[in-house]
Structure 1
């Protein structure tokens, strides 16, 4: 297990980091970003070259541009995590101290508690389309619900389709009652998460970081899955507002958030989550049933698959050390969808980051 400790601590023209980050250079043609953070770089140590294990530096062409995938060429990478990695993106010693206390509290007091046997799942119609009969986010929640029921964990669903999700207070109230797992499936940015009512792409219902202070789940911290774009983009900073030449773009993308959604919900003292998993960049999902196999594509590909696979690995493979659950999920995805064969599969695994202690015992230890 390898835990990286340290986030961004300032810098305007050049970011400053307590613990370094690696930016990939995969350009997906979205015109949103051509680079994003990937902690998978630190976990993928080796690759096999003609049967021999060699160091995988994610720069196979030696041009100094890491994890490159552009029209002009690409780096050949292994992707498989060789160690179980996680990061505490702490920006100061106070956050670090509070995270240590929170992790110790979790591992020594959670075991056997009734609240741990609950999950809160939040979703809606992620890609509203009259030709698509599926409410993608809700289907993802229902899939994770089925897996967790296998190990005795009950799920409270908050859905836009049945009006159990009408605003942030619904989320605050459900989480504050205590839950061992928290699953968001929808859309996001560094500051907020939301989803749509059925077939209504103009309406957004969700929660943002300014609501987090309302959580009152002291001592009852869930492992949090965040399906959405950029929720775990932990390089954001309010200092980005000083980049005057880019201010319009920065404001629109919420890159001026003091801290990212995925880290903020974890680092809060005495409330929030114990760890989160989410995307540092633009996330992807599938819609409809284009392969005509009777299974919604949202569950079979990209973000919908990898998020659901985490819960399957926990429930069916019995992986209850957080980093191992996370790392096994990545490995299973890479085996099923070789990233060097598809640019979006590569991005899906590169950007999926664990913000938490990889050695954490999910559910805690017996006293």
Structure 2
């Protein structure tokens, strides 16, 4: 009997040890990079795993079907989008995940739409909705509790009206998130090839140390431009906003050769004029960064005014559109493209907005982009760099100059630094109060600021 009891005791000890080891194995897995995709793109994404591993980035690819079935973590959430957000939260807490990539457009990956209020005609409220991937990155409130973006449980997310915030949101991104806006397997294959080739071959290439900036004069009325500093109670002066943003970026990156393609260049020979030919010639020669500043749309990267002539639109001979992107031949000399105009990343209005067209283009284009999914907001005049999207654009460059290495971290920094910059936030609040079109401009600007591309992308490639 004693021997039998001893055997039972030993079996119990052995089983306990096995369970402990198994439990430890599950929770000791570390996946820095989480890729969430429909199953149909799985095969095309697989080469990323070994490529990222060769550079020390552990990668886990999870399908939407895995999340729904609760394969790795319990399936929690009111709908498909919230289940993804809870999965990301569990991955961060269990796998130490820091970077997340969503693969697919709104028809492939559940998308969270947020809502804000504009002043409509006759003072009425005009509500608009727009996609926000920041929803998936903003996991916690400052106290560590889950941030659902629907604190009043009415199934409207990050909801706002002209009197204030109806939902409490934190806005600080807890992971770096990007999206491949792919619609078919061949696109995934193209983009994965571009990522792998860029990271493996770009280092020490002289073309990388080039910054291309495109812009002109965004204000069609000097009177309105002069009124902004008075209304916002800040010192400011009239400028050609697109050119001012470009010059500011060039000062932040003194080690880069700035190719300035400006509206004023049509009047002075020392600067390239803002034409489609000049833009594409510069891109085809290769660059590390590319910035467009002006009005935009889902199919237009830049549309702006000829200086002093509000009825002449640039770039010549017509606005820069997706049809101009597909004629690029820069191969693997790929810039990171930043868009300061409205709706250049609006994947609700278009399956392939121009910010994505640059990335999906097989013969060149860009390696990643950051753009707005709704209307861009910034003051006119020299205050354009001090708050809202102009500030966020400048922070992208500043973060790189300070040593940030991945595009996802640049995106994260542009939001986090903004929220910690009380002057920028206060000026954004003042803009909200004085501009007849916008309410709660800070939240509106941050929620729609979207990264298209691999958030772990090593800027400039690996040595």
1:233 aligns with 2:323: no
Q: Which runs of 5+ in 1 are unaligned?
A: 9-16, 238-257, 289-295
Alignment pair present for 1:7 and 2:101: no
- Which residue of 1 is the match for residue 385 of structure 2? 299
Match of 1:362 in 2: 459
Structure 2: unaligned runs, 5 residues or longer: 1-98, 226-237, 267-271, 433-439
Q: Look up the SS of the partner of 1:161 in the other structure.
A: helix
Which residue, 90, 101, 108 being the options, matches 2:193? 101
CA distance in 1: counterparts of 2:406 and 2:338, whole angstroms: 15
More helix by share: 2
2:403 is matched with: 318
Picking from 390, 407, 415, the partner of 1:330 is 415
Does the CA-based 8 Å contact 1:122-1:165 persist in structure 2?
no
* Pair 350,30 (structure 1): closer, same or farther in 2 beyond 3 Å: farther
1:19 and 2:105 are equivalent in the alignment: no
Corresponding residue number in structure 2 for 1:250: none
Q: Is the Cα contact below 8 Å between 1:22 and 1:39 reproduced in 2?
A: yes
**Corresponding residue for residue 189 of structure 1:** 297
1:3 touches 1:88 (CA, 8 Å); kept in 2? yes
Match for residue 201 of structure 1?
A: 310
SS class of match (2:264)? coil
- Segment drifting more, 201-210 vs 322-331: 201-210
Query: Are 1:54 and 2:163 matched, yes or no?
Result: no
| Residues 1-367 of structure 1 aligned to structure 2 (within 5 Å) | 1-8=99-106, 17-29=107-119, 34-48=128-142, 52-71=143-162, 74-131=166-223, 132=225, 133-149=238-254, 152-163=255-266, 164-192=272-300, 193-206=302-315, 207-237=320-350, 259-288=352-381, 296-315=382-401, 317-336=402-421, 337-338=424-425, 343-366=440-463
Deviation of 1:28 (Å): 2.9
Deviations 1:80-135 (A, max 9, x none): 00000000010111111111000001000000000001111001001133344310
Q: Distance in 1 between matches of 2:425 and 2:131?
A: 20
Aligned residues: 325
Is residue 165–residue 171 contact of structure 1 (8 Å, CA) maintained in 2? no
Distance 1:174 1:303, change over 3 A: same
In the aligned structure 2, how far is the partner of 1:267 from the partner of 1:139?
30
Whole-angstrom CA distance in 2 between matches of 1:198 and 1:18: 43
In the alignment, is the contact (CA less than 8 A) between 1:110 and 1:363 conserved in 2? yes
Aligned equivalents of 1:314, 1:93: Cα separation in 2: 32
Instruction: Give the deviation of 1:297 after TM superposition.
Output: 0.7
- Report the Cα offset of residue 74 of structure 1: 1.4
CA deviation digits over 1:30-64, x for unaligned, max 9?
6786110110000000003xxx3111010011111
RMSD: 1.8
Distance, in Å, in 2 between the alignment partners of 1:330 and 1:217 is 30
2:340–2:393: 8 Å Cα contact kept in structure 1? yes
Q: Identify the residue that residue 249 of structure 1 maps to in structure 2.
A: none
Greater mean alpha carbon deviation, residues 271-280 or residues 342-351: 342-351
Retained in 1: the 8 A contact 2:134–2:450?
yes
Bigger CA radius of gyration: 2
CA contact (8 A) 2:304 2:314 kept: yes
Q: Distance in 2 between matches of 1:33 and 1:157?
A: 38
Q: If the length of structure 1 is used for normalisation, what is the TM-score?
A: 0.85
Residue 146 and residue 338 in structure 1: after superposition, are their counterparts in 2 closer, same or farther (change >3 A)?
Answer: closer
Normalising by structure 2, we get a TM-score of 0.68
Is this contact kept in 2: 1:180–1:363, CA < 8 A? yes
Are the structure 2 counterparts of residues 23 and 196 from structure 1 closer, same or farther at C-alpha, using a change threshold of 3 Å? Answer: same
| Contact 2:385–2:391 (CA under 8 A) maintained in structure 1 | yes
Moved more, 32-41 or 214-223: 32-41
